[in-house]
Amino acid sequence: MEKKLSYNEIGAIIRKYRKSKKLRLTGLATTSGVSIAMLSKIENGRMIPTIPTLFAIIGALGVTPDAFFSELGEQDSFPGYIFIPKAEYTHFVKEENAKGFHYFSILEHRVEGSSLQISLLHLEPDAKRKTVSTLAFEYIYLISGSIEYVLGDKTFYMNEGDSLFFDGNIPHVPRNPYEQTATILVFYLFNEPKY
């Protein structure tokens, strides 16, 4: 069986070990030699670390590679389809200080040198988060509600059925100044690092 490099899982496992050791990002940055900004992006599933960076983080956390990698999910060979019942969507946290952002991972799958991640985001009214950048292309489809999507120096006023495709390196954040929770389907296309 081939191990699946899951962007959410890698970040979540790193965060779990860091918190269990009562380390702040600044402490882990000092011991691993990896910048706070990069650690934050890795923990929040916005980028996949290179192998040397991942091993520097694992070493700084005092975790054996076997223990770390045994926590990652497994992926069988692709049978030509993937069916995912709603009950199997996995809730995860992308930014610890975000308010009103509820992410659910629907699918993560590798496709010829790239990785696809599909998430569902429930964005509460007046949700708060700083702008972020992601080392991926992103496509969002507004399933329900209305939002304002800030992308660099532009703001897109989106209603149900609208969509937006963009380079995730551009700082971005969805905002919901309306009274109804918005539901957004988010696709991330990551190019896998070359080793």
Strand pairing partners for 118? Answer: 107, 187
**CA-closest candidate to residue 45, choices 128, 127, 101, 84:** 101
Domain at 86-191: CATH architecture: Sandwich (2.60)
Region 83-89: mean pLDDT is 84
Rounded Cα distance between 43 and 64, Å, is 18
Which residues make up the CATH 2.60.120.10 domain(s) of the chain?
Answer: 86-191
Tell me the whole-structure pTM to 2 decimals: 0.69
Which residues make up the CATH 1.10.260.40 domain(s) of the chain?
Answer: 2-75
Q: Which two tokens stand for residue 91?
A: 């809730």
> Per-residue pLDDT for 73 more than 60?
no
pLDDT value of residue 69: 78
Domain at 2-75: CATH architecture: Orthogonal Bundle (1.10)
pLDDT value of residue 169: 93
